[in-house]
């Protein structure tokens, strides 16, 4: 606590509202400085929160939160909101296990009235809240705070369109449209180019206040008060600068959207430790190598060029990249249209974001058997971003789609070959890979297609078969070594493909060994293990199958290694599970024989 600090004395927004307006500029200065100190010491989402400090203070000063509900789009600009709503002291632990989430969580605070981690949801949610309040006769407001990047999402238009329809009923929806020219990357699209927010909203029947300088606190307080006084849905257009108050972030908000710890005075970041490149970088390099020999290849990103590696691809092939904005549904069908005319589009989208495009994958790509490749980054558990960003549903929703090939590489060399397989197959193809550093293996000189539906037996065994997928393969190999030290012979199969499965190898292992453990960084329900279980139930019905993966829960934010231990994907737990499966399958009086364990 800082002596004489106004910010430290604010334990809830009511304390802020008790201050004279003349004190609010000091609160703004203290809050911005505290956020810079937090970023320097802890890292995390950074430039977004700095850009809305004045707006955050103004909203909580004018609206009677939590009776008036504020819904922040995405939520990574919500650190200042957390500081003003009783969580200032805990921000030092943000994104760590047991600390606050980097996003908004209903379970964390009554001031977080609607959780988020994906863009474009705020207006829909706030409109629903406002309509519920109206139906109950409550005199309260619902405020959606959305950036111009988030407004590129189709849901934002759909919600504004519906708000125009409900306007006659008078729900107390208030929308703050924060124009800063950015999502994570620089913003794209026709509305961004024209800047005609007033005309856009007027066409939907919604009045607009502004534009207002989002860093002129006095003007902003007046505008927010005017917004609150409106009857029926209304929009406040503010203009802010992402990264405001920290010169390096203002100069390059793209690179300072999120950060690790840095030196406060000049923004110098510690030199990175040497090690393998990221999976994302390996994907980008492989895509460039394939594109250099195949002019049909084009790349699509949904406002995430840096996170998906498409920014690297764009440096070499700028005319072959499309950033569609935060519009995954459109991006998938746009890719389908490109593919229908002979191109080979690669949609590079995070696993959790691709959930939004499920219908388009099924209806527009797979049903028409179009050669679209989905490069699915951030598959599995992602660490500090937590449950909104874990990619643990993709196998279940993708393998249900007829005709879609689904694969996962165990290392970066296999990644380049599977990417070549996908693009050259002429089929709908999904390739998932994790966040973080790759394995550091040597790359073959040229990416070449692999046989679809064929796994690789990495080591043979006689007692138990470990059938693993993607990032879990090295862990399965380490578990097999641990089992060998205990006198247990374990086969390890890298499945490579979830769909189609390698029925021949899986059947042979099941028939010969009789005990199979599947290992996946995905929910057990409907995942890779379920696919194997379904196959063996009909192919080799006497096989004892045990699935290792994530049970029916959302995994909280923590370090990735800790998350893997929590869900039982560590070496010791896998080895123990194999021993338990062997013990359960042994005949009475002793261990199984080496053959016919069924």
pLDDT tens by residue, 247-257: 999 999 989 99
Q: Is the same domain home to 72 and 136?
A: yes
Q: Is the same domain home to 395 and 478?
A: no
Residue 561 within a domain: yes
Q: Is pLDDT above 70 for 3? A: no
Q: Is the same domain home to 59 and 99?
A: yes
CATH, residue 25: 3.40.50.970
Residue 159: give the domain boundaries: 7-259
Active-site residue, selected from the candidate residues 54, 131, 179, 328: 328
Mean pLDDT in residue range 168-176? 95
Q: At 141, is the pLDDT very low, low, confident or very high (cuts 50, 70, 90)?
A: very high
Q: At 594, is the pLDDT very low, low, confident or very high (cuts 50, 70, 90)?
A: very low
Query: What would the pLDDT profile of 316-341 be if each residue is shown by its tens digit?
Result: 999 999 999 999 999 999 999 999 99
- Evaluate whether 381 touches 567 at the Cβ level (below 8 Å): yes
Phi, psi angles (nearest 5°) of residue 152: -75, -15
Residue 233, SS3?
coil
- Report the relative pairing of strands 173-179 and 234-239 from DSSP bridges: parallel
Mean pLDDT in residue range 266-273? 82
CATH, residue 562: 3.40.50.920
- The per-residue pLDDT for 183 is 83
Active-site residue, selected from the candidate residues 32, 42, 356, 482: 356
Residue 122 neighbours by CB under 8 Å, 6+ apart: 71, 72, 73, 74, 114, 116, 144, 145, 146, 150, 156
Mean pLDDT in residue range 169-191? 91
Mean pLDDT in residue range 433-446? 96
Query: What would the pLDDT profile of 52-99 be if each residue is shown by its tens digit?
Result: 999 999 999 999 999 999 999 998 899 999 999 999 999 999 999 989
Residue 440 within a domain: no
Q: Is pLDDT above 90 for 593? A: no
Residue 444 within a domain: no
CA–CA distance, 92 with 328 (Å, rounded to integer): 34
Query: What would the pLDDT profile of 569-590 be if each residue is shown by its tens digit?
Result: 999 999 999 999 999 987 765 5
- The per-residue pLDDT for 185 is 82
Active site residue 328: yes
Q: Is pLDDT above 80 for 272? A: no
Q: Is the same domain home to 309 and 367?
A: yes
Residue 514, SS3?
coil
Residue 341 within a domain: yes
Q: Is the same domain home to 308 and 424?
A: yes
Residue 445, SS3?
coil
Name which of 313, 263, 311, 306 is nearest 287 in CA terms: 313
Name which of 473, 468, 466, 399 is nearest 441 in CA terms: 473
Active site residue 559: no
Residue 593 within a domain: no
Q: Is the same domain home to 21 and 148?
A: yes
Q: Is the same domain home to 427 and 514?
A: no
- Evaluate whether 125 touches 145 at the Cβ level (below 8 Å): no
User: How many distinct structural domains can be found in the chain?
Assistant: 3
HSE-up of residue 366 (Cα within 13 Å, Cβ side) = 20
CA–CA distance, 252 with 576 (Å, rounded to integer): 49
Residue 273 within a domain: no
Q: Is the same domain home to 462 and 567?
A: yes
Residue 563 within a domain: yes
- The per-residue pLDDT for 504 is 97
- The per-residue pLDDT for 422 is 98
571-584 burial code (b ≥16 CB/10 A, e <16) = bebbbebbbebbee
**pLDDT over 70 percentage in the chain:** 97
Q: At 597, is the pLDDT very low, low, confident or very high (cuts 50, 70, 90)?
A: very low
- The per-residue pLDDT for 29 is 97
Residue 443 within a domain: no
Active site residue 499: no
**Angle formed at CA 214 by CA 120 and CA 233, multiple of 5 degrees:** 50
Rounded to 10 degrees, what is the CA torsion of 174, 179, 182, 186? 140
Q: Is the same domain home to 363 and 504?
A: no
Q: Is the same domain home to 300 and 253?
A: no
CA–CA distance, 371 with 358 (Å, rounded to integer): 16
Q: Is the same domain home to 222 and 289?
A: no
Query: What would the pLDDT profile of 274-286 be if each residue is shown by its tens digit?
Result: 799 999 999 999 9
**pLDDT over 90 percentage in the chain:** 91
- The per-residue pLDDT for 598 is 34
Q: Is the same domain home to 461 and 370?
A: no
Mean pLDDT in residue range 559-571? 96
Active-site residue, selected from the candidate residues 82, 174, 228, 242: 242
| pTM across the whole model | 0.95
- Of 401, 434, 467, the one marking the end of a domain is 434
Q: Is pLDDT above 50 for 140? A: yes
């Amino acid at each position: 606590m800082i002596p004489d600090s106004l910010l430290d004395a604010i334990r809830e927004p009511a304390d802020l509202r008790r201050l004279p307006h003349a004190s609010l500029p000091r609160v703004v200065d203290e809050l911005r400085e505290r956020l810079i100190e937090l970023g320097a010491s802890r890292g995390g989402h950074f430039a977004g929160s700095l850009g809305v400090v004045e707006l955050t203070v103004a909203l909580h000063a004018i609206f009677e939160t939590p009776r008036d509900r504020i819904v922040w789009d995405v939520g990574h600009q919500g650190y200042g909101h957390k500081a003003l709503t009783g969580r200032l002291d805990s921000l030092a632990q943000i994104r760590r296990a047991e600390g606050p989430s980097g996003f908004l969580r209903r379970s964390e605070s009554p001031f977080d009235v609607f959780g988020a981690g994906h863009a474009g949801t705020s207006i829909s949610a706030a409109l629903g809240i406002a309509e519920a309040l109206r139906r109950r006769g409550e005199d309260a407001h619902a405020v959606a705070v959305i950036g111009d990047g988030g407004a590129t999402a189709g849901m934002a238009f759909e919600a504004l369109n519906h708000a125009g329809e409900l306007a006659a009923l008078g729900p107390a929806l208030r929308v703050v449209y924060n124009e800063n020219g950015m999502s994570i990357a620089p913003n794209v699209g026709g509305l961004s180019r024209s800047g005609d927010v007033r005309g856009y909203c007027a066409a939907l029947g919604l009045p607009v206040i502004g534009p207002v300088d989002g860093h002129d606190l006095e003007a902003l307080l007046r505008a927010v008060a005017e917004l609150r006084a409106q009857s029926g849905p209304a929009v406040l257009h503010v203009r802010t600068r992402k990264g405001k108050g920290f010169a390096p972030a203002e100069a390059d908000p793209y690179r300072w959207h999120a950060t690790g710890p840095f030196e406060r005075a000049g923004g110098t970041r510690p030199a990175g430790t040497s090690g393998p490149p990221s999976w994302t970088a390996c994907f980008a390099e492989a895509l460039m190598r394939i594109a250099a020999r195949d002019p049909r290849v084009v790349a699509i990103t949904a406002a995430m060029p840096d996170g998906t590696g498409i920014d690297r691809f764009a440096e070499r092939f700028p005319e072959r990249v499309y950033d569609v904005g935060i519009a995954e549904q459109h991006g998938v069908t746009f890719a389908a249209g490109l593919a229908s005319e002979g191109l080979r589009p690669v949609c590079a989208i995070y696993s959790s974001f691709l959930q939004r495009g499920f219908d388009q994958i099924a209806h527009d790509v797979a049903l028409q058997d179009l050669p679209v490749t989905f490069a699915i980054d951030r598959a599995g558990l992602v660490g500090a971003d937590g449950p909104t960003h874990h990619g643990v549903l993709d196998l279940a929703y993708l393998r249900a789609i007829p005709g879609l090939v689904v694969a996962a590489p165990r290392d970066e060399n296999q990644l380049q070959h599977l990417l070549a397989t996908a693009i050259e197959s002429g089929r709908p193809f999904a390739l998932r890979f994790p966040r973080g550093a790759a394995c550091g293996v040597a790359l073959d000189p040229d990416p070449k297609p692999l046989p679809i539906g064929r796994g690789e037996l990495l080591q043979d065994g006689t007692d138990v078969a470990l059938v693993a997928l993607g990032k879990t393969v090295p862990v399965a190999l380490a578990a097999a070594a641990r089992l060998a030290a205990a006198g247990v012979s374990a086969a390890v199969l890298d499945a490579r493909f979830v769909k189609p499965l390698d029925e021949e190898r899986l059947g042979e292992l099941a028939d010969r060994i009789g005990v199979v453990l599947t290992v996946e960084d995905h929910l057990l329900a409907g995942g890779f293990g379920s696919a194997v279980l379904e196959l063996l139930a009909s192919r080799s019905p006497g096989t004892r199958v045990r699935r290792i993966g994530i049970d029916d829960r959302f995994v909280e934010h923590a370090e990735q290694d800790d998350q893997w231990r929590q869900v039982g994907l560590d070496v010791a737990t896998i080895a123990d599970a194999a021993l338990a499966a062997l013990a359960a399958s042994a005949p009475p009086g002793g261990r199984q024989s080496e053959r016919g364990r069924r």
